[in-house]
Amino acid sequence: MKKRLFLLSIIITLLVPFSGKAQIDTDKTGAWYMYFFNSTFNKSQWGFQGDIQYRNWNKGGDLEQLLLRGGLTYKPKETDIKFTLGIANITSGAYGEDKSTSSESRIYQEALFPSQFGERFYATHRFRYEQRFVENQDFRTRFRYNLFLNIALNKAAMEKNTLYLALYNEIFINGERGIGNGSSVEIFDRNRFYVALGYMINNDLKVQLGGMRQSTDQWSKNQLQFSLHHDI
């Protein structure tokens, strides 16, 4: 009897990881719809920025995540560096027909370092540190680094009616491996590589349409992305 239980436990251990990965159809393209906003208080050093993102496992209807995020910004005088202290709330949905959801709250600190080289290349480094409160998990942290690059195509300046190429690559590193209840995650959390075509509607509003390849330690998946970027 003990031998049978031992063999059964081995079979279950071997099967569970594979069944978990098979739950996500990596050949099915998802879609993210996003709105980003940024404002300054009376042209001062202080402001507010945030985003709303509706993420789907498919083109729409199969919720992956609903993300609401916003933070207070500060830009020191005579610099282009911007610091942010913010909070976020994320509702994550299970893949497929399962309609169950889980919630997460975050506090985050961020630093943006924009730069320009040549006439048409606009780069931004973003460093973000997150404190995460995930439902039914222990407190955890995460480090993120993103390199953005916008390349103006029909004009040298990023101004009204400019068509541009938008690229970024972001890497996520977990601060802790243990997440409670005997479960753990890898130090490498995920990587996102993005390519899009953007258009400056005016100096305060731009739109982007592109694709993002998201890779975790267990799966990789393509996402269509439509985003609106608004300076208020």
Structure token pair of residue 105: 């709250």
Average pLDDT across the chain, whole number: 90
Per-residue pLDDT at 37: 98
Is residue 213 within 8 A of residue 187, CB to CB? The reply is: no
Q: What number is the average pLDDT over the span 118-141?
A: 96
CA distances from residue 62 to 78, 93, 204 in whole angstroms, order as listed: 46, 8, 32
**Amino acid code (one letter) for 214:** Q
Per-residue pLDDT band at 23 (split at 50, 70, 90): low
Q: What is the pLDDT of residues 64-86, one digit of tens each?
A: 999 999 999 999 998 999 999 99
List C-alpha distances in Å: 116 to 124, 125, 204, 216: 9, 11, 19, 31
| Residue 11 pLDDT grade (very low, low, confident, very high; cuts 50, 70, 90) | very low
Percentage above 70 pLDDT, the chain: 90
Q: What is the pLDDT of residue 8?
A: 45
Whole-number Cα distances in Å, 187 to 143, 178, 183 = 10, 10, 13
Scanning the chain, the segments in alpha helix (DSSP H) are 2-22
What is the rounded CA–CA span in Å between residue 55 and residue 67? 8
pLDDT for 46 equals 97
What is the SS3 assignment for 98?
Answer: coil
Residues facing residue 212 across a β-bridge: 194, 223
Q: Is the pLDDT of residue 179 over 70?
A: yes
Report the pLDDT value the prediction gives residue 204, as an integer from 0 to 100. Answer: 96
Q: Widest CA span of the chain, in angstroms?
A: 76
pTM of the model: 0.87
Q: Is 95 helix (H, G, I), strand (E, B) or coil?
A: coil
